[in-house]
Amino acid sequence: MAPTAVDRKRKAVTRDVPESSDVESEAEFGDGLLEGILSQSEDSEDESDENEESDQEDEEDLDELEALDSDEILSEDGEDEAELNGGLVKSNGTKRPQTDLVPGQAQAEDDEEDKPNYRVEVDANGGERYVYEEIDPVYDSDDSDAPVTTNTIGNIPLTFYDSYPHIGYDINGKKIMRPAKGEALDALLDSIDIPKGWTGLTDPATGKPLNLSQDELEILRRIQTNEMPEEGYDPYPATVEYFTGIEEVMPLSAAPEPKRRFLPSKHEAKRVMKLVRAIREGRILPYKPPEGREEEEEEIHYDIWADEQPRPDHVMNIPAPKAPPPGYDLSYNPPPEYLPSKSEKQAWEDIDPEDREREYLPTTYDALRKVPAYDKFVKERFERSLDLYLAPRVRKNRLNIDPASLLPKLPKPEELKPFPTVCSTLFRGHEGRVRSLAIDPSGNCLASGGDDGTVRVWELLTGKQLWSAKIGDDEAVNVVRWRPGRDAVILSAAAGEDIYLIVPSVPDVNPKMEAASKELLDTGFGYATNATQALTANGQKKEPVAKWTRPSSRLQDEGVLIKITVRTTVKVISWHRRGDFFSTVSPTAQRSAVAIHTLSKHLTQIPFRRLPGIPQTVQFHPSRPLFFVATQRTIRSYDLQKQELVKIIQPGARWISSFDIHPGGDNLIVGSYDRRLLWHDLDLSTRPYKTMRFHSKAIRAVKYHKGGFPLFADASDDGSLQIFHGKVVSDMMENATIVPVKVLKGHKVKSALGVMDIDWHPREPWCVSAGADGTCRLWM
Amino acid sequence: MDTEMADTSALSSHYGQVQVHFTTNSPDIELPEGKRQLLVPTNVRRYGLSQILNSESMLDTPAPIPFDFLINGTFLRTTLEEYLTANGLSSETTLSLQYVRSLIPPLFEASFEHDDWVSCVDVLSSSSLAGTWGANVNVPVVLGQERILSGSYDGLLRLWNKSGQAIATSSSSSAGGHTASIKSAKFISPTQIASSSLDRTIRIWKYSEADDHFSGELKPVLELYGHLGGIDSIDVHGPSNRILSASTDGSIGLWTTAKNSAPAADEALISGPNAKRRKLTTSTNTPQRGPLSLISSHTAPVSAAIFNPLDSTVAYSASQDHTVRTMAPAEFGTFEVRELARKMKETAWLERLKETTGRGRRNQSVRDGTCRVWDLRSSRTGTKDEGNGVVGEAVYVIERESQKGKKRPVGGEGIKVYGVAWDKEVGIVSASEDKMVQINRGRGVTRPNDP
């Protein structure tokens, strides 16, 4: 800042000087000179100071630090000035007159003033006595260097004397006559040589022509050309290295370096620590650039007139600015242009009262007496009271997250159509519960079995019973399953310990297929008789695990062709996809709980000698030679060819009721009696990929759609079915999307049992359910 | 006219007016030439327009006739103004309004009780197809001697007169009748009946009636074997003696009723492995024949097959595989199969495809236990979800009489309607799971001059 200011000043000077040489311009000019002088003298003084104080360097530094400590931060210029002033005071005791013109003169004055003009003597009383020198009363002894004549008119412009022949008065009261001037004088002057240093200007103090010396003119020239006014000024003098690392041959001082030069200064350390402490405590903060205007605007403004009381007029009291007077729109009968239009009115009414720009709507009344009472008076009072009464003392931080945004994005059920939505057919006829049902591979018939010991076949779409047979005399039919494949129509049903293989003689069955089915069932008899029976250790014939026989002729007439008797009650039948093997589960049997039957050989095998728990249900893998056995808590998959355990799946359910394998073979759903439906990805983990708990009662059955629709369903004891959309993508990186799409309600809950079994139509997105209320339902 | 115009002007202070041009196809209710153009307010609906037409200045009918109005082939169901805005028309345009007599809801007439579910009905009258075919071969149906044929799930065909007396019942399975539920039955001529059953057969019956018209006899004349599954639907064409059948095995068959021209039947199908049972059933010697042609064009059970009533060389079939196919049975070897509706709405597969192209109205039986009267002209454009076609809306819904006043059961249990027939003389005849054949008759529906 400082140099630019000086520059500006100098420029101003160069402009002013040639135009007018009045007092002000001279004063400026003098200032310029002074600066140069001062700078020089400062330099010399500094040097001398440093010479003197070189020994006290440490102390001085410490002083500086102290100055810092007291938060007084000085710029270099300021420091220089301060030091300069001090120097001046030290050297002179008085300030140098600012009007000194020439350095040499000033120096002379300095010398004179240095010598006191008195002597101190001891008087008769012994006191000090100042004896001044005698003044020699010569002509100009009193004021030797004062101008000879001085105008005493004071600080008034000379123009006041324009109309007089004199221009003022000297010290003796005599008129100072105006010097000759004008044409006559001009003529005279023209004839005279222009004296050296003539400028044509008038000295305002004397009224005489102002003469400037050659030196002065040179200074002016330099100032005009923006140079240093002093002659021979070297702005970049070569440094004189008095105190450097270079060891002088002839040092200024022969004294050895003091010890303190080599020791860390304790005082300094103390001051540094003081600073450090200040920084740590936060008293000294790092420099921050001044913040912008925007933030200033955001400053909190306090309403100092919020609770203004009327006060007597006083200088220190600034009254609140007056509120603007009410406008036309507040009038009870405003001009029509202030009245809102219909749409504006509507818009105002639509806005929430809190968001309205103004609280009123301009309304017009013919006369003031027609203005009604304020309609919100009671409401406002009431709300005010309510506010006071319900004023919350504690501010609650409410979590402002939309709960909907936290849910994962699922497609809408409408987009996932088709799936079954309504019950379209009821199958009535069973007495007691319907325990199991299955749709035949062609999709025309439905087979069901129930507590009344009958197996029934229905026409799927109409609900007409086509065929019925009572296979369990006093035992319920626990399970019915069709043999997969379109080449034969074979129904398997289990009642008690007996498994029946049936070719139901429904009227519309193809006779060729019927014949093929019967042949398929009968071929095994030859194998069974030819097979050598295993012997026990005693040499006696071993009791076979199952007996394949013909049922009674009554049943044979109805199409029940084979009866397989095992040791305990069969609960589950599961067919292999080729239709030659099927597996049964009789949970109460100890070792022979799981049996695999070969249809073509009438052979029954027990694949597992020991099982780690009570088996619940079994499934064949839809494409690979794997066999899944579900015990109460785990599902184990075995490789049938290698006869080894492949995997143990742990759904985490307490009691598995049923499971089904996705037709793709990589996914599995598990339903459990503890209300859970679990989706397993066999490739990922033994733990479930997804657990769903939407039912209020146990889940009895789960089933995938096997005909190409990405659907699966579960049936629960709460009387409802739930349909899910479960899309499995071939991309390994993507997870299956599971969306619940529909809850189908309709079955009545009887003695805490709801829906017992479900099955899907082989082609259509229809499903059937067997209820404990004795009905089956078709949902489409 | 004056009052009409006064009304009009009074109304027009709030609503615009539009120029309409009344036309009709019925000459007896035609307007005189000068009165056909009229300015009507745009806020009137069908009722208002009907009132205007019935007023003294217009038709001057002794008793008011309710009219329906067709604009551009569809019924006007909104005000004229809404129609104009919906179609982006200005009120300056002249609307051409075709007026027809309104349909009056059909009223219940009679119910005929059966022993089991009734699967199908057909009507023989002078105006029915079989009746016209009969008239061509000099066996006309006398007016008042209309017959109603019903097929039941107990495997029996029954013939009724209009007053509900059973005239004839087909023989039981032991005497050459069907061994399983009848699915479909049709008159071929006044003396010949075809029926199809779940037992995979089509049977042709000869029907003879006593002179007093109160008793008759149904005698099986032919058994047709060929399908591997139950036959859900048949259609007949009398003049060419052709039968078209649709089976659950996914195939469509073409048969002839003539014993001599029909090929022999597949022996394996007649006497299957359970010959013991079969022997019991076929004690009478009815000739057995096979199909003229059998084609498996559908991948799923075929639910219906019909001849085009105007052109017997074209047939249509509907299937559970969500397709409707067109074919030309004349050259049955080279089927011209076209997929009509690949993207038919999944759940709305056609259960019964009935086309009465002459009247342009369809009558469809549906699973929820109602019979609905549809009108092809009452339709709206389907949404994308419905396959972008034209979706019809039922004009009338006929409820089952047996279910009157009760809540509609879940899944149409006990009242599913399996068959329906519509005849000018008899009315709308429907067969249902409630073991009844129900006749409903609409007043304005069968008016001879009705378009």
Contacts of A338 (CB under 8 A, 6+ apart): A327, A328, A329, A331, A362
CB A760 within 8 A of CB A723: no
Q: Is the pLDDT of residue B239 over 80?
A: yes
CB B248 within 8 A of CB B301: yes
pLDDT tens by residue, B409-438: 666 677 777 777 777 777 778 887 888 888
Residue ranges and CATH numbers for the domains of chain B are 3-101 (3.10.20.90), 107-441 (2.130.10.10)
Residue B273 sits at the chain A interface (C-beta within 8 Å): yes
Mark yes or no for CB contact B347/A513 under 8 Å. Answer: no
Model pTM greater than 0.80? no
CB B350 within 8 A of CB B389: no
* Of A174-178, B62-66, B165-169, minimum mean pLDDT range: B62-66
**A470 in a domain, yes or no?**
yes
**A145 in a domain, yes or no?**
no
- pLDDT for A280 equals 93
Q: Which residues 50-109 of B are in CB contact (within 8 Å) with A?
A: none
Residues in A touching B277 (Cβ below 8 Å): 505
Residues in A touching B416 (Cβ below 8 Å): 425, 462-463
Q: Which residue of A has its CA nearest to B272?
A: A511
Residues in A touching B274 (Cβ below 8 Å): 505, 511, 514
- pLDDT for A540 equals 57
Give the C-alpha separation, B123 to A510, whole Å.
Answer: 32
Q: Is the pLDDT of residue A533 over 80?
A: no
End-to-end Cα separation, chain A, in angstroms: 91
Q: Which residues 308-367 of B are in CB contact (within 8 Å) with A?
A: 320-321, 346-347, 367
Tell me the nearest-neighbour CA distance from A614 into chain B, angstroms: 40
- What H or E segment, with its residue span, contains residue A82? helix A76-92
The number of folded domains in chain A is 1
Tokens of A454: 């009958």
**A388 in a domain, yes or no?**
no
Mark yes or no for CB contact B269/A507 under 8 Å. Answer: no
Q: Which of B273, B300, B410 minimises the CB distance to A518?
A: B273
Contacts of A442 (CB under 8 A, 6+ apart): A486, A762, B229, B248
Mark yes or no for CB contact B229/A508 under 8 Å. Answer: yes
Banded pLDDT at A78 (limits 50, 70, 90): very low
Residue percentage of chain A with pLDDT more than 90: 19
* Of A108-117, A320-329, A502-511, B259-268, minimum mean pLDDT range: A108-117
Domain of residue A688, CATH code: 2.130.10.10
Give me the helix-helix angle, A23-53 and A76-92, nearest 10°: 80
Query: Cα A638 from chain centroid?
Result: 51
- pLDDT for A94 equals 41
Mark yes or no for CB contact B198/A507 under 8 Å. Answer: yes
pLDDT tens by residue, A556-581: 888 888 899 888 899 999 999 888 89
Which of B251, B322, B413 to mutate to probe the A interface, most A CBs <10 Å?
B413
Q: Which residue of A has its CA nearest to B179?
A: A507
Which phi-psi region, left, alpha or beta, contains residue A557 (left: φ > 0; alpha: ψ -120 to 50)? alpha
Give the closest residue to A769 by CA, choosing from A739, A741, A743. Answer: A743
Residue B384 sits at the chain A interface (C-beta within 8 Å): no
Q: How many helices (H) and strands (E) does chain B have?
A: 6, 29
Tell me the nearest-neighbour CA distance from A710 into chain B, angstroms: 15
- pLDDT for A272 equals 95
Banded pLDDT at A2 (limits 50, 70, 90): very low
Q: Which of A508, A512, A778 minimises the CB distance to B248?
A: A508
Mark yes or no for CB contact B367/A424 under 8 Å. Answer: yes
- pLDDT for B391 equals 53
Mark yes or no for CB contact A508/B198 under 8 Å. Answer: yes
* Of A49-53, B193-197, B388-392, minimum mean pLDDT range: A49-53
Q: Which residue of B has its CA nearest to A464?
A: B153
**A444 in a domain, yes or no?**
yes
Q: Is the peptide bond preceding residue B329 cis, with omega within 30 degrees of 0?
A: no
**A702 in a domain, yes or no?**
yes
* Of A138-147, A248-257, A341-350, A733-742, minimum mean pLDDT range: A138-147
Q: Which of B180, B228, B411 minimises the CB distance to A424?
A: B411
- pLDDT for A661 equals 92
- pLDDT for A47 equals 43
Q: How far, in Å, are A456, A491, B303 from residue B320 at the CA level?
A: 24, 24, 7
**A467 in a domain, yes or no?**
yes
- R_g of chain A computed on alpha carbons: 60
Mark yes or no for CB contact A507/B200 under 8 Å. Answer: yes
Which of B183, B196, B274 to mutate to probe the A interface, most A CBs <10 Å?
B274
Contacts of A253 (CB under 8 A, 6+ apart): none
Q: How far, in Å, are A58, A143, A271, A377, A568 from residue A263 at the CA level?
A: 12, 60, 16, 85, 104
Residues in A touching B197 (Cβ below 8 Å): 507
- What H or E segment, with its residue span, contains residue A9? helix A2-19
Residues in A touching B267 (Cβ below 8 Å): none
Q: Which residue of A has its CA nearest to B351?
A: A461
Residues in B touching A513 (Cβ below 8 Å): 228
The domain containing residue A482 runs over which residues?
413-528+543-779
Q: Which of B229, B272, B367 minimises the CB distance to A514?
A: B272
- pLDDT for A705 equals 92
Residue B161 sits at the chain A interface (C-beta within 8 Å): no
CB neighbour class for B243 (10 Å; exposed up to 12, middle 13-18, buried from 19): buried
Banded pLDDT at A98 (limits 50, 70, 90): very low
Mark yes or no for CB contact A511/B346 under 8 Å. Answer: no
Q: Is the pLDDT of residue B243 over 70?
A: yes
Q: How far, in Å, are A377, A498, A673, A779 from residue A588 at the CA level?
A: 81, 14, 18, 34
Provide DSSP, A416-454: G-----SEEEEEE--SS-EEEEEE-TTSSEEEEEETTSE
- pLDDT for A12 equals 40
Q: Which residue of A has its CA nearest to B414?
A: A426
Q: Is the pLDDT of residue A9 over 70?
A: no
Q: Which of A505, A513, A763 minimises the CB distance to B300?
A: A763
Mark yes or no for CB contact A507/B230 under 8 Å. Answer: yes
ipTM value > 0.90: no
Which of A442, A508, A522 to mutate to probe the B interface, most B CBs <10 Å?
A508
Residue percentage of chain A with pLDDT more than 70: 78
Q: What's the rounded mean pLDDT across residues A402-427?
A: 82
Residues in B touching A444 (Cβ below 8 Å): 229-230, 248, 301
**A463 in a domain, yes or no?**
yes
**A60 in a domain, yes or no?**
no
Under 8 Å CB pairs connecting chains A and B tally to 87
Residues in B touching A422 (Cβ below 8 Å): 411
Q: What's the rounded mean pLDDT across residues B253-264?
A: 84
Which of B346, B365, B366 to mutate to probe the A interface, most A CBs <10 Å?
B346
Mark yes or no for CB contact A443/B300 under 8 Å. Answer: yes
- More confidently predicted of A78 and A421: A421
pLDDT tens by residue, A705-735: 988 888 999 999 998 999 999 888 877 667 7
- pLDDT for A84 equals 40
